[in-house]
Structure 1
Amino acid sequence: MLMGILVGKYKMSAAEDWVMIPMVMLVLLAMFSIPLGLSLSLVRDYARTYRTLQKKLQEVEQLSAQAMIQEQEKQQLLARQNEVLEHQVADRTAELTKSLSDLQRTQQQLIQKEKMASLGELTAGIAHEIQNPLNFVNNFSEVSDELVDELRAEQHKPVRDTGLETELLDDLKQNLQKITQHGKRASAIVKGMLEHSRSSSGEHQSINLNALADEYLQIAYQGLRAKDKGFTVELATDFGADLPLLEVIPQEIGRVLLNVYNNAFYAVRQKQKTTNFDYRPKVALQTRQENGRILIRVSDNGTGMPESVKEKIFQPFFTTKPTGEGTGLGLSLSYDIITNGHGGSLLVESQEGEGSAFIIELPNPGVE
């Protein structure tokens, strides 16, 4: 078209036409060379960019493959480490389980030893305490035997004194009543010993707290007297008259009372050994109702204890007694019996050199 325009504009001869055609071609070539060059340049840039992107893509793929391999190696390493740790944990757990089992077995043995020591204290007290009613039984039996002989002798006389016979029969009846009374007393002591030695069934029973506390006080004191016949202590009792029957485990409360009494007797006995002036040992027992609770207070005028000892007194295996004289479990077991077994509390008050007091608090069944 462009050639047609040029040719139509210039009317030329045939020779001139041959000259113009190359010129027109040159013009056309000049006109299209710039965009063609730009196109070629763009093509070269695109090709270079494509090669660069292709190279980057290959590098990314290589890095991804390396990262995947590293991740797999990391997971395998973690799996091996976890397996080793699991074996170590299993071994350590087995060791700890065995140690715990050994510790529990040792604790049970120590607890049993403490119970046997408590039973030994109780048995010694009972042996001494039971001797009193048995002595009465023997004495009244001998007197009764003499009364029977006198009665028989009177019956064989030609002239019988009926008044004397009646008097002898009355005396004999009174003796038999005394024998029965003290025989029941001995039977009750033996029954208490059997109940104490028996494993606790965990069953709560209604008891007269004053009677139980006094019973074990006498037993504990007689047990100490059986070991040291020259030892005496003043026993002061103040029993609350309006105490209700308590639902407790008698054997367990008896163990607690025995431990507390023995500690009080030990304290006054130790003070008596180290005191030069005129010292009169005293242990006091008091029961009462207070603020909806039943209180048992056992106090002494013995050695007392410093604050450092008072803070640890209920800890297992803590004892101030010489080796072989205490396991350090008596008060610890007592604390557990009162707090966990009966929902009460066991407290201590003490002043070094002046004495101590243990206060047992138990729930009052009559107070909601």
Structure 2
Amino acid sequence: MRQASLDRIRADISSMRNADDLDRITPLIFKELTVLGVPFIRCGVFIINEKQELVEAYLSSPDGNSLGVLRLPYSASELTIQTVEAWRKDVVYRQHWNKEDFIQWINQLMEQDQIQDSSTYQGTAAPPESLDLHFVPFKQGMLYVGAVNPLEENELELVQALAKAFSIAYARYEDFVKLESAKAEVESAMKELKATQSQLIQAEKMASLGELTAGIAHEIQNPLNFVNNFSEVSAELVDEMNEELEKGDLEEVKYIASELKENLSKINHHGKRAGSIVRGMLEHSRKSEGKKELTDLNQLADECLRLSFHGLRAKDKTFQADFKTDFDPNLPKLEVVSQDIGRVLLNLINNAFYAVNERVKSGTAKQDYLPIVTVSSTYSPLAGGQGGSIEISVKDNGPGIPASIKDKIFQPFFTTKPTGSGTGLGLSLSYDIVKAHGGELNVETKENEGTEFTVHLPT
């Protein structure tokens, strides 16, 4: 019977998963003390929290129901002070109360707003004329048994066995609570991390766009200048055509009309060019929807190259570099998320221009050094024409990457740029984007000669 009772205690306490389950403690202790034949009229568990200097008292009513939890400071009463002292010494604490002592205890609880009235604690039962309190220590607190008479030694041993079983089971509950708390913290941290990651990705994207803003303005200004010039010339041609009509020179009118048509064609062409630049800027800045579409990678790389070049040149008047392209004319269109691949190319090209410009500024380059960035593409079809691979290369003749940091460049937040000049996320995000497309992003570098990044994409 004793072992079965202890097993039930362990099983029930171990099954507790949250604070609400703790209301089952006192009814459970009440039941098992009754089964074990221990003579008592009240019982409870005092969980002692040294960190908060708080006693959480789970007490039973005379009929075995839970009174809930009383959160008592160590200094709440003489009883709590003495109970904590005995617990620290790991000894059984005994105290005898008469009716007046019991009533005084209830009044103290009401004064401290722990209970509303005496009936909350005592129900309809009259206060006991005599009450012997027994507090048996266990690791996390004290098991309380109140009886009309002092417990016999064998009865106290049963209570001690019950306290030990309770302690083992309660430790499992504490472990579970700690695990759940740690899990909640990890989930919260992951949520914050994802939110921060999204913000950082957007910051990196906007930082890249910020570097290109001047370039975008420059690129738009060129076609707008053409539009304005051809519009002015066309207005003059209309006046000339009206004059020739009055003269009746139809041949001259036809010639002027053909000039006007050519000018309108040029205006249309340059207007579309400006529109495409704006669309490219918007595509780069907006959140990627992850939708793949057939993309001319040669055209995408060329646009990124020119935007980067003009942007950096307009931003930094000391910027010195040139660029060239070597695109494979047989490069097939490929289904990619164009905003994402564009972001990769912009990042690689920006980095390449930054590298060659820094080499010029450092003063370590030879007098005949010509900083240049080369963007090229190649298509390698498989035998039989089924599939193949596309390679887009961004090569510079900058200072190269030191061997000591080459393995770190794709790590998040790693940057060799001065504080405030880079987020350290560009290459990391580029690597992830290329991987998400089933490709590879590789780097070849040699100090004092330059660096080449190559994007490999399967077709």
TM-score range, shorter chain: 0.7 to 0.9
Unaligned 5+ segments in structure 1 are: 1-66
Give 1:299's aligned amino acid: K
TM-score (norm 1): 0.75
Alignment of structure 1 residues 126-145 onto 2, 5 Å: 126-145=216-235
SS at match of 2:455: strand
Say if 2:298 is the partner of 1:237: no
313, 319, 323: which one aligns with 2:419: 323
Query: 1:122·1:193 contact (CA, 8 Å) conserved in 2?
Result: no
Give 2:315's aligned amino acid: K
Q: Deviations over 1:84-139 (max 9, x none)?
A: 32233333333333333333322222122112212323433322111111111111
Equivalent in the alignment of 2:454: 359
Q: Deviations over 1:215-259 (max 9, x none)?
A: 111111121122124534222111112222201011111111111
Alignment of structure 1 residues 156-305 onto 2, 5 Å: 156-157=246-247, 160-275=248-363, 277-290=367-380, 292-305=388-401
Q: Which moved more, 1:130-139 or 1:109-118?
A: 109-118
Give 2:238's aligned amino acid: V
Shift of residue 362 of structure 1? Answer: 0.3
SS at match of 1:324: coil
Shift of residue 183 of structure 1? Answer: 1.0
Q: Deviations over 1:268-298 (max 9, x none)?
A: 1111112362321111011012362110011
Shift of residue 173 of structure 1? Answer: 1.6
Shift of residue 185 of structure 1? Answer: 1.1
Q: Distance in 1 between matches of 2:328 and 2:352?
A: 21
Q: Distance in 1 between matches of 2:305 and 2:253?
A: 43
Equivalent in the alignment of 1:113: 203
Shift of residue 172 of structure 1? Answer: 1.6
Unaligned 5+ segments in structure 2 are: 1-156, 383-387
SS at match of 1:278: coil
Q: Distance in 2 between matches of 1:93 and 1:166?
A: 81
Query: 1:204·1:250 contact (CA, 8 Å) conserved in 2?
Result: yes
Q: Which moved more, 1:180-189 or 1:162-171?
A: 162-171
TM-score (norm 2): 0.60
Say if 2:171 is the partner of 1:76: no
Q: Deviations over 1:134-159 (max 9, x none)?
A: 111111111111222222233344xx
Say if 2:432 is the partner of 1:336: yes
187, 190, 193: which one aligns with 1:103: 193
Q: Deviations over 1:187-218 (max 9, x none)?
A: 11122222222221111101111111111111
SS at match of 1:167: helix
Give 2:397's aligned amino acid: N
Say if 2:384 is the partner of 1:314: no
Equivalent in the alignment of 1:8: none
In structure 2, relative to structure 1, the CA distance for the partners of 1:152 and 1:232 (3 Å cut) is farther
Q: Distance in 1 between matches of 2:432 and 2:214?
A: 25
Give 1:328's aligned amino acid: G
Give 2:172's aligned amino acid: N
Alignment of structure 1 residues 27-46 onto 2, 5 Å: none
Task: Determine which structure has the larger helix proportion and give its number.
Answer: 1
SS at match of 2:394: strand
Q: Deviations over 1:328-362 (max 9, x none)?
A: 0111111111102x010101111122111110000
Instruction: Name the structure, 1 or 2, with higher relative contact order (CA <8 Å, separation 6+).
Output: 1
Query: 2:205·2:284 contact (CA, 8 Å) conserved in 1?
Result: no
SS at match of 1:307: coil
Alignment of structure 1 residues 345-356 onto 2, 5 Å: 345-356=440-451
How many residues end up aligned between the 2 structures? 297
Q: Distance in 2 between matches of 1:297 and 1:235?
A: 13
Q: Distance in 1 between matches of 2:197 and 2:249?
A: 72
Q: Which moved more, 1:323-332 or 1:235-244?
A: 235-244
SS at match of 1:361: strand
Q: Distance in 1 between matches of 2:186 and 2:336?
A: 37
Query: 2:227·2:271 contact (CA, 8 Å) conserved in 1?
Result: yes
Q: Distance in 2 between matches of 1:71 and 1:90?
A: 29
